Amino acid sequence: MTYEEFEARYEYNPATDRIGGGGFGEVYRAYDNLRKRWVAIKECKVEPHKFSLWREVELVNEMEPHINIARYENPYRFKLGRVEMDYAILKYYEEGSLKDLLKKQPLSTFEKIEIIEGLLHGLAHIHQEGFIHRDFKPGNVLIEKVAEKWVPKITDFGMSKLKKNDGREQLSDSSIGKTIAYAAPEQIQNRPINDSTDLWALGIIVYQMATGKLPFDSENHTSKETYNLEVSKQIISGKLPNVSTIEEPFKGIIERCLVLPIHERANSANDLFSLIHKNKSAVNISRLVNFKQEEKTAKLESSSTGNVVEFLVAKDEYAKWNVANAMSILATNNIHRGYVKSMNAEKVEVFLDYGVTGLINEIAFEKLFIGDYVEVQIIEADFEVCRLFLRLNRILKKNQNDIHISQLSNGRFVLKNASGIIANGEYDELKQLSDSNYAFKRNNKWGVINKQGKIIVKEKYLEIYPYHNGLARVSSLGNSIFDLLNYSIKFGFINEVGFEQIPLVYHEAQDFDNEFAIVMINGLLNSTWYKIDKTGLCTEINNRS
């Protein structure tokens, strides 16, 4: 691709579309005229023996894909006069970074825990792939909202190092000065680093999320240099912040991460998952332990203990225990014990927002999110709570055909109905195309499944768009040598059963509208636009509109 073609495809104004940047280049929001979408473009001047944006793209894309790692699409290098510039394309995240999110809205304890869990998964993956990030901070974590959940995506690997090196790093004043508040003692003192160096930065982030401020900071400084010097002194002095008033699991994570000697710090991200899971289970546990026994209590239906109803997860807060622990807690509180024989789930869910205890069914015991539907077996609850629950159930009840997309704890996506997961497919991404079909993504390619979970188109497309008038627009890389060398994308259309009703031969296409679509073919000298019907019959048009 030439620079002129790059400019024609990616449209942005450096003066108004800047969304970030710093020592490692600038980032802009741009419109991709070819694929009709917003993207982020990172640009950086190529300088010998310094940071290379091209190498960063290679590094990230060498890793196995992971939901908590932001991946680049394409790198480009152009010579503009005497200057060489690198450009990298990545998905545009409307929510911005974790730094932006922490500034613009308060987060619940559960939302913070979910974000931290995602950060741990991302760091564990980076370290498993053999890298140390070295510049881990909220500004280098992009945020995506998926099914009402904040999903963090670690980015900016410009300072990352392979662990096979000698472990000693040399940071210039300009690079470390921008992230001094998150720098580990060994980075400041130029001592050997390891995975725990990134975990120190995680501890700083967790402290910031829990308290709204940095543990090491300076307000009395006159310049960036004096700020860096003061904060550096605080970090290497060994005087750590008081965390006694911070709630769990944040307190435990901070205490394991902000440890001055690197060999006494948490060794890996996996070491911290137990703290997350333990305290996730304990959310609102005191409300169950102090479950108020009123004079008037009643089973949901006196003639039918263990009544099973359907329940919408209205809030993304719940508590989980292993079966043995849950039985002990329920028995301690004199709640009906006759449920043991009917317990066929591996986990116990307690929906504390309505004061109702119950068991989810054996299919749907995985992590739940807002909008999920599950069957709940009622054990016992306060009389007034029962009435409220029945009223909610009548309002919110869905039938078995109500299909929705849900994300599992491992970051993968599934189709679910009221009974649980449909079929046995887990996907990198899922999106609805029509009332009957869904697009799924695996290995960076898109395919189609129907609402029964059956694959009707195997993953092979770069993109699949929603159905319009019975046809869905699809795109794929052309298969000619010219197409492959020039990364030429072709468009076509598939019908509801996955058949390519209109072959992928067009260089640009719009969705069908009123039985017709507008398509374009690039010629040797110019482009020709056509109006095409569902049979593939084309009529040349002089004006694209």
Would you name the residues annotated as active-site residues? 135
Please give the sequence-ordered ranges of beta strands (E in DSSP) within 111-177, or none if there are none.
131-132, 141-146, 149-154, 161-162
Tokens of 361: 């069914």
User: 126: how many CB neighbours lie within 10 A of its CB?
Assistant: 24
Phi then psi dihedrals of residue 185, to 5 deg: -55, -40
As a whole number of angstroms, the distance between CA 386 and CA 388 comes to 5
* Under 8 Å between Cβ of 476 and 504: yes
Report which of 146, 87, 94, 89 is spatially closest to residue 115, judged by C-alpha positions.
146
* Under 8 Å between Cβ of 426 and 414: yes
Q: Collect all residues with Cβ–Cβ distance below 8 Å to 319 and sequence separation of at least 6.
A: 281, 282, 283, 284, 285, 288, 349, 350, 352
* Spacing of C-alpha 369 from chain mean position: 14
Q: For the stretch 364-397, what's the b/e string if a residue is b when 16 or more beta carbons lie within 10 angstroms of its beta carbon?
A: bbbbbbeebbbbbbbbbbbeebbeebeebbeeee
As a whole number of angstroms, the distance between CA 542 and CA 538 comes to 13
- Strand, helix or coil for residue 7: helix
Residues constituting the chain: 545
As a whole number of angstroms, the distance between CA 12 and CA 77 comes to 18
Strand order in the sheet with 445-450: 429-432, 437-442, 445-450, 455-461
As a whole number of angstroms, the distance between CA 136 and CA 183 comes to 9
- Strand, helix or coil for residue 325: helix
Q: How far apart are the first and last CA of the chain?
A: 27
Phi then psi dihedrals of residue 25, to 5 deg: 110, -175
As a whole number of angstroms, the distance between CA 38 and CA 45 comes to 23
Pairing relation of β-strands 319-321 and 83-91?
unpaired
Query: What is each CA distance from 456 to 65, 438, 499, in whole angstroms?
Result: 25, 10, 9
As a whole number of angstroms, the distance between CA 97 and CA 154 comes to 9
Q: Which residue has the tokens 């009840």?
A: 397
Q: Collect all residues with Cβ–Cβ distance below 8 Å to 461 and sequence separation of at least 6.
A: 445, 446, 447, 474, 475, 476
